[in-house]
Amino acid sequence: MTAHTAAGKLQGLAEDAPWYEAAFVTGITNALNVVADGLADVLPPLDDATAGDATAVFAEIRAFHAGLVPAPFGALARDPAYLADVWAAWRRAFSDQRLTRRLKTALAFAVSLTTRSSFGTRFHLAELRRLGVGERGVMEVIGVTQMFSSYTKIADTLQLDSDMGAIAPVDRSPAPGH
């Protein structure tokens, strides 16, 4: 991981802000995938007729996801306040900031593919296409995911120490809002 963060910084993503955003996307993607894949067969998603107070959140989700409420959000609707907070974090993570929603979706697809999440792989692949990424772009993300699923295992098998962290430029800017 250190090598690619360093390489990415040398390739122009020198500031820390995009990397914070990438980390948040990675975390919340995995969080939703865990619920989606783990609960798919045992806890069906609620819908507008059964979700009660969560229907307002469903409306926000639909507005963000082209009319769709992804199944894990439907499952979380059993606790509307919890759903609202998870949704708010998700929306923030995937919104255009320093990184585009398009790239964030590519990251989420890569995370889902790497972790063998059936839900995440299907959902984020559909989102990538909806956001205009073509088959070539999809194949690019698959290629990077596959190749670095190889390099990481070679590194781990030989227990290589990271030796590239120091080559990246350091972002000395203060925390946001400081």
- Where along the sequence are the contacts to other proteins (CB under 8 A)? 1-5, 7-8, 10-13, 18-19, 22-23, 25-26, 30, 99, 103, 106-107, 110-111, 114-115, 133-134, 136-137, 140-141, 143-164, 167
Q: Smallest distance from the beta carbon of 108 to other proteins, in angstroms?
A: 9
Residue 128 to residues 18, 43, 78, 82, 148, Cα–Cα distance (Å): 19, 27, 29, 27, 20
77 vs 110, which CB is nearer to other proteins? Answer: 110
CB of 55 to other proteins, least distance (A): 33
Nearer CB in complex with other proteins: 50/149: 149
Q: In the complex, what is the shortest distance from the CB of residue 38 to other proteins, in angstroms, rounded to a whole number?
A: 16
Q: Name the residue nearer to other proteins (CB basis): 79 or 163.
A: 163
Shortest Cβ 46–other proteins spacing (Å): 29
Q: How far is the CB of 1 from other proteins (least distance, A)?
A: 4
Distance CA 100, CA 60 (A): 20
Beta carbon nearer to other proteins, 157 or 178? 157
Q: Interhelix angle for 118-130 vs 17-39, to 10°?
A: 130
In the complex with other proteins, the residue whose CB is nearer, 7 or 59, is: 7
